[in-house]
Structure 1
């Protein structure tokens, strides 16, 4: 579970799937009860688990709205994990509160662990345009786990840029998307990794598709929207 949690942190910053569509957002769905299912695939195209999100606790109106994203994960072995995090739409920007991901529910699934978390919230502007550069995001996690050594981890999402517009077809339908490129740098113990990724965002839906690559540009894993409802 500890390894899976660390992997989740990396995915959270490279593949943010917050969604809201209100008067202050075009690409993210803050509609009470909306749900989204993503199927994960490995580099060979074999199914590797599922992610399901549901929007709850929507508050506010106009240009200031907040919501909670309830996230259920199922890996390739059928193990399930749950967590939630907060999303806020403030004016022209949607912000994801990374600290809220480390809630009591997630920590309880990890066992005896303490965390110290700091960093910068991930931001997704409402008005995306081809060639636009997006703000970097980062998180620093200091973990104290009973029975094992303490662990420190730093994850940065850098070089975020809107590359192009592209039509994408998934089991959930066909969508006109903006393609956002980014690079995720993770540092944990003596290990340092940097890998690029792309996210396909559709207006009124959010993330439709995501791909991660190795340094050579080869596909390592992907996620595809397979079902949604509002």
Structure 2
């Protein structure tokens, strides 16, 4: 279960670097009832599970729009995990406060632990262009697992860059996308690792596809938009 929790944290960090569309965002529809379904695949293309998202409780306040994103994650064995967190669009940039990922529902899964989370937002501006460099972000998680056992995890999203424009087809349709390259650097007690990834973003839809690679550039897994409605 603890291993599953860490996978969820990484999935949240890498998937939702932006999560809104309204008058202040060109990506992801921030409207009540919008639904996204993503299917996870391993390096051989075998289905590993699904993540479902639903936008709720949208609040408009001048140049700022906020909402609650409800998440349900189902692995290949049928185990499910649900959570929700806040997202916001401020001006023409979408941001996430990573502390909001650690809500009471998630904390209740680990009543025997003390956790502290901090970090900086990952931002996505409206006006993307090929060759554009994007700001880094990071998240630090400190866990007390009982007794004298403590675990710290630091996750950084670095080297973010808009590589190209490309059309991509998924079960949800065909989309014109910007392709964003980034590297997720994790630091844990067992060592440091860096995982490159690419994300395909479509205006008005958001993330359409994501691919993750090992440090040699070989595909290790992917996530594809399989259903979308708003």
* Aligned CA distance change for structure 1 residues 62 and 165 (closer, same or farther; 3 Å): farther
Distance 1:125 1:8 in 2: 25
Q: Give the TM-score taking structure 1 as reference length.
A: 0.96
Distance 2:121 2:47 in 1: 31
Query: Are the aligned partners of 2:56 and 2:69 in contact in 1 as well (CA < 8 Å)?
Result: yes
Distance 2:147 2:166 in 1: 49
Residue of structure 1 in register with 2:212 after alignment: 212
My pick for the range that moved more, 55-64 or 200-209, is 55-64
Residue of structure 2 in register with 1:82 after alignment: 82
RMSD of aligned alpha carbons: 1.3
Distance 2:47 2:165 in 1: 27
Listed as ranges, the matches of 1:1-230 within 5 Å are 1-16=1-16, 18-146=18-146, 149-230=149-230
* Aligned CA distance change for structure 1 residues 148 and 171 (closer, same or farther; 3 Å): farther
User: How many residues get paired?
Assistant: 230
Distance 1:80 1:202 in 2: 28
Q: Deviations over 1:104-152 (max 9, x none)?
A: 1111123422111111011111111111111100011110123682110
* Displacement of 1:61: 4.3
* Displacement of 1:17: 6.0
Query: Are the aligned partners of 2:177 and 2:200 in contact in 1 as well (CA < 8 Å)?
Result: yes
Query: Are the aligned partners of 2:152 and 2:189 in contact in 1 as well (CA < 8 Å)?
Result: yes
Q: Give the TM-score taking structure 2 as reference length.
A: 0.96
* Displacement of 1:33: 0.7
Distance 1:227 1:148 in 2: 45
Unaligned runs of 5+ in 1: none
